Amino acid sequence: MSEQKQPSENKLWGGRFTGATDPLMDLYNASLPYDKVMYDADLTGTKVYTEGLTKLGLITPDELTAIHSGLEQIREEWKQGKFVEKPGDEDIHTANERRLGEIIGRHIAGKVHTGRSRNDQVATDMRIYVREALLDLSIKLKGFIESILKRAESEIDVLMPGYTHLQRAQPIRWSHWLSSYATYFTEDYKRLQQIIGRVNQSPLGSGALAGHPYGIDRDFLAAGLGFDGVIGNSLTAVSDRDFVVESLFWGTLFMNHISRFSEDLILYSSAEFGFVKLADAYSTGSSLMPQKKNPDSLELLRGKSGRVFGGLAGFLMSIKSIPSTYNKDMQEDKEPLFDALTTVEHSILIATGVISTLSINAKNMENALTMDMLATDLADYLVRKGVPFRETHHISGECVRKAEEEGLSGIDKLTFEQYKEIDSRFEQDVMDSFDFEVSVERRDAIGGTAKSAVLKQLKNLQSVLN
């Protein structure tokens, strides 16, 4: 019989089978090419699990010492890029156990899987890996938000147009715009903390689905692995992938916010706006037009949001109809999740670099302010004189129309006499309404664009991060 037709001795499930699997099936089934990133989580899980087996008397203290020594050697091999993958290493769990047997002997190594299934093993590894990845993202996201807050505080005096429907609407502070996205990202930060708590529950000790046959102390295992608690139902423990869905959803929502943030900056960096200029480190040139400076970093941030959303949508379709407990469909959780975690991490770092290094053109921002943006202030002026807002809104509109008919550059160019002709309740102090600084400073309620209101926003956001 040829070597190809012999079942691999390395397979954790091989004893039931006498024939070999199709080589293509081996390739189709294998996950080591992408799940080996979990090597550290897998080794740590085995280390603590064997401590639990030792408490039960199923592994001797001497055997435990040998196992732990072997696991640390394997960990070092992975760290140094010296781990040798072999045929039959279908996943990280198989590869690590096979290598452990080579180091300390298969008899002792064969005990590490006692009472454990790959079903609870992979679920444990995934939760450890995702927990650590999300904690790292949390640190990086905090740094990104703080870079926005720092910039907002230092550039608090710069005014710019605020937009609705991409049309100039009312004057705001540049820092108010920065604060708006810092608010989005701070909500992402808060959601991330909640998800980490739900991820950090231990499935280890649930076996294949029915529970542990030797009464292992699951609380001991959870504490040893840094989990906050155990998943209370073994059927759920091995099959729950909600934490993957939540992580993918979180990444999708965060990337949606990054995409909108990037789109604004792309527009603001164009010649038509001229509000900001990206640093050379986050721009590229044109292969044909030497004058071009393209915001490729921001365009990539905008584009990669679709990549993360696609991973979420695809995985939801993979698990929507599977029956209870573990099914092989769940192997499809790793590639979209790992890709999303990497994409989000890189996006945070790039966005941090962009916002930390771009320069603003305060003069262009302020030159973009036009007097028609103070039409609401004109209406507010009459409200303060006791006129109902619905009426003042109509009167202000008449003033705008009159200025257009006269070919004037703005409503501030109408004379006081013309204002009196439109409505007799206008008084001489109406001309004081046409001041952008005064306009923004009037909006000092919570969340407004007045300096005091924006500074309070920044302080509140920082307090969340602290």
User: What CATH class has 371-465?
Assistant: mainly alpha
Supply the residues annotated as catalytic. 165, 286
Amino acid at 20: A
Closest by CA position to 298, among listed 355, 338, 254: 355
- Pull the structure tokens for residue 88: 């039959």
Could you give the CA distance from residue 463 to residue 452 in angstroms, rounded to a whole number? 17
Closest by CA position to 97, among listed 40, 86, 106, 80: 106
Give residue limits of the domains in the chain.
21-109, 118-155+171-216+229-366, 371-465
For residue 283, what pLDDT is reported? Answer: 87
Amino acid at 154: S
pTM for the complete prediction? Answer: 0.90
- Pull the structure tokens for residue 185: 């990202």
Angle, helix 174-199 to helix 118-154, in steps of 10 degrees: 160
Distance of CA 423 to the CA centre of its chain: 54
Token pair 């608010």 in the structure block, residue: 183
150: how many CB neighbours lie within 10 A of its CB?
A: 15
Which CATH number fits the domain 21-109, given the four candidates 3.30.420.40, 1.10.275.10, 1.20.1440.230, 3.90.1150.10?
A: 1.10.275.10
Residue 31: strand, helix, or coil: coil
Which helix (H) or strand (E) covers residue 164, if one does? Answer: strand 159-164
For residue 287, what pLDDT is reported? Answer: 53
For residue 278, what pLDDT is reported? Answer: 95
3-state secondary structure 191-214: HHHHHHHHHCEECCCCCCCCCCCC
User: Residue 293: CB partners within 8 Å, gap ≥ 6?
Assistant: 278, 283, 284, 285
Instruction: Give me the tens of pLDDT residue by residue for the chain, a chain 466 residues long.
Output: 334 444 445 555 455 545 555 677 666 667 888 899 999 999 999 999 999 999 999 999 999 999 999 999 999 999 999 999 998 898 999 999 999 999 999 999 999 999 999 999 999 999 999 999 999 999 999 999 999 999 999 999 999 999 999 999 999 999 999 999 999 999 999 999 999 999 999 999 999 999 999 999 999 999 999 999 999 999 999 999 999 999 999 999 999 999 999 999 999 999 999 999 999 999 876 555 655 688 999 999 999 999 999 999 999 999 999 999 999 999 999 999 999 999 999 999 999 999 999 999 999 999 999 999 999 988 998 999 898 999 999 999 999 999 999 998 889 899 999 988 999 898 899 988 899 999 999 999 999 999 999 999 999 999 999 9
pLDDT tens-digit map of 351-387: 999 999 999 999 999 999 999 999 998 899 899 989 8
CATH code of the domain made up of 118-155+171-216+229-366: 1.20.200.10
Is residue 127 within 8 Å of 227, Cβ to Cβ?
yes
pLDDT tens-digit map of 224-237: 999 999 999 999 99
Q: Point out which residues pair with 163 in neighbouring strands.
A: 168
Is residue 19 within 8 Å of 101, Cβ to Cβ?
no
Is residue 311 within 8 Å of 339, Cβ to Cβ?
yes
Q: How many residues does the chain have?
A: 466
